[in-house]
Structure 1
Amino acid sequence: MRSDNWVSNLEAATARIEDDPRRRIAELCAHFYSLGWVSGTGGGIALRRGDSIFMAPSGVQKEKLKPADIFELNLAGEVISRSADPKLRVSACKPLFYHAFNRGAGAVLHSHSMSAMLATLVFHNTFEVTHLEMMKGIVGVQYEDTLTIPIIENTPHEADLADAMADAMRAYPRATAVLVRRHGVYIWGKDWVETKTQAECYDYLFDAVVRMKQLFIDPARRPDSSRQEAA
């Protein structure tokens, strides 16, 4: 008969393996690839565990990442454990990821979602929407609120976005995302679960708003309960 201690130890070991940040990043990147968010080697994700930041490498096929490919950095941004593949480079998104970590985030996602990119083309400085149910999946936002996301202009190199992103985060301290024109979006949360679920809600909202614009419906206008939208 196996002892209860043996079973408990096995369960604990299994939980540690499943929660390993390197393994988690590889799994999430494969999932995000299936959604079209990190195709063509673009996009990425980083997780914080204590005083360590774990980050996917740059310029690689995200759906094929292995746990051994992931970099570990300290809170100062210094690499303390390199990828097992010497050809891999730490993510070009690093300075932007650190802006979110410095605000207390536990995970940051950079998505090249088509919906996110298109959403940046139908607004000027900010993305705005109200009265859509999926807004309730965004931290601190309710159905009757107006969700506002800052939009910054794209640059030839990812790292050059860092100052504009920092300015946007200061200007919109409640935001948990920053859109990049003709590029994509950065999304962060307290942990990978919150970041993932928010990203799913954001992507729904980006797609919905682009479609609303095509139908000449103002997504930032509060609905008139006395009549139908398309009356």
Structure 2
Amino acid sequence: MSIERDLREQMSTLCASLYQRGFSVGTAGNVSARLPDGILMTPTNATLGGIDPDKISKLDLNGEHVSGDRPTKEVFLHQAFYDTRPEAGAVVHLHSTWATALSCLEDTDPDDCVPPLTPYVVMRVGRVKLVPYVKPGDPKSGDLIRDLNGAYGAVLLANHGPVVSGKDLFSAGCAAEELEETAKLLVALRGQKTRLLSNADVMDLKATFGNM
């Protein structure tokens, strides 16, 4: 099986799993994966629950659409992550409930949206930046990601939802799920006296596990 065919099948399987478990509803969310000669992206106006591997969009290295259905209108988000994070092999953008709720809260820290509540959010996601709101599909979204110069592997789009990169589809999917579950904990614990991991704890996790 070719690399491209394998990635198409992996994307379809991951998208269906995310949809079936409620991480995506309707036609919300989009997923991409990097190829040696371009990028695969889920099509626009498609439900993640029924992605046909053969209809997944393919863009060449110049960002031109070369095959498959028309790509997601959030193409700029994905391209910006690949352009600024050479290690990124996949990007997952969801409208998952709790991470989106966190992106809507007025007092969410824009420079550290997801504090170190658990070791796994540190290990799989890292620091998360809140990116200012722009309308869906606006090319400015890509500019905002590029302005971060690859410093963040995950962001929250204000009043919109999370975008998470990873070294491959499995890693990006797991990180997106970890971010969603941690956001759920953060919202549930609002108003409570919460114990966070210390800076020393965070540094120890990074030294031991690096970027998972």
Give the TM-score normalised by structure 2. Answer: 0.81
Secondary structure, counterpart of 2:115 in structure 1:
strand
Unaligned runs of 5+ in 2: 200-212
Measured on the aligned residues, the alpha-carbon RMSD in Å equals 2.4
2:160 and 2:195 map into 1 onto residues whose CA distance is 21
Instruction: Choose from 186, 194, 198 the match for 1:209.
Output: 186
In structure 1, what is the Cα distance between the partners aligned to 2:176 and 2:47?
20
User: How far apart are 1:166 and its partner, in Å?
Assistant: 2.1
Compare the two structures and name the one with the higher strand fraction.
1
Q: Alpha-carbon deviations, 1:79-125, whole Å to 9, x = none? A: 12133xxxxx2111111101111121110000111111111215041
In 1, Cα distance between equivalents of 2:117 and 2:180: 16
Task: Name structure 1 gaps, 5 residues minimum.
Answer: 1-12, 84-88, 140-146, 224-231
Task: State the secondary structure of the residue aligned to 1:20.
Answer: helix
- Greater RCO (CA < 8 Å, at least 6 residues apart): 2
* Equivalent in 74, 89, 106 of residue 106 of structure 1: 89
Find the aligned partners of 1:206 and 1:76 in 2 and give their Cα distance.
35
After TM superposition, the runs of 4+ consecutive aligned structure 1 residues lying more than 6 A away are none
Q: Corresponding residue for 2:143?
A: 163
Amino acid at match of 1:163: D
Is it true that 1:148 corresponds to 2:127 in the alignment? yes
**Higher Cα Rg, which structure:** 1
Corresponding residue SS for 2:26 = helix
Tell me: CA distance 1:36–1:70, structure 2 relative to 1, closer, same or farther (3 Å).
Answer: same
Q: Is the 8 A contact 1:130 1:219 kept in 2?
A: no
Structure 2 CA distance, aligned partners of 1:219 and 1:148?
17
Matched residue of 1:36: which SS?
Answer: coil
| Residues 128-149 of structure 1, C-alpha deviations (whole Å, 9 max, x = no match) | 412513224326xxxxxxx531
Q: Could you tell me which residue of structure 2 aligns to residue 91 of structure 1?
A: 72
Structure 1-normalised TM-score?
Answer: 0.75
Corresponding residue number in structure 2 for 1:129: 115
2:7 and 2:169 map into 1 onto residues whose CA distance is: 10
Identity %: 26
